[in-house]
Amino acid sequence: MTRDEFLSQMDEILGLPAGTLRGDEKLEELENWDSTSLITFIALAESNAGVSISPARVVNCFTVGDLLRLAQAESNPC
């Protein structure tokens, strides 16, 4: 998944107009970032890329970009 695809998916999950997120937004400042969107993020990573992301690692993400890096790291392990 490219950065743009990921950002537009996050726009949808958070109910924001397409093209809103740039990647540097702080998660805690996003109104709709809650347990439901967190679970959706994990579930989509699982069904799109077949990767299992531990909630503990999501909790350590501070920005939207961190989430992207986490999803990418899990799907392309070194």
Contact positions vs other proteins (CB under 8 A): 9, 12-15, 32, 35-36, 39-40, 42-44, 46-48, 52-56
Evaluate whether 62 touches 26 at the Cβ level (below 8 Å): yes
Q: Shortest distance, CB of residue 15 to other proteins, whole angstroms?
A: 3
- Which three-class secondary structure state does DSSP give residue 23? coil
Closest CB 66 distance from other proteins, rounded Å? 17
Minimal distance in Å, beta carbon 38 to other proteins?
A: 8
Q: Which two tokens stand for residue 40?
A: 């959706």
Question: What's at 43, amino acid-wise?
Answer: A
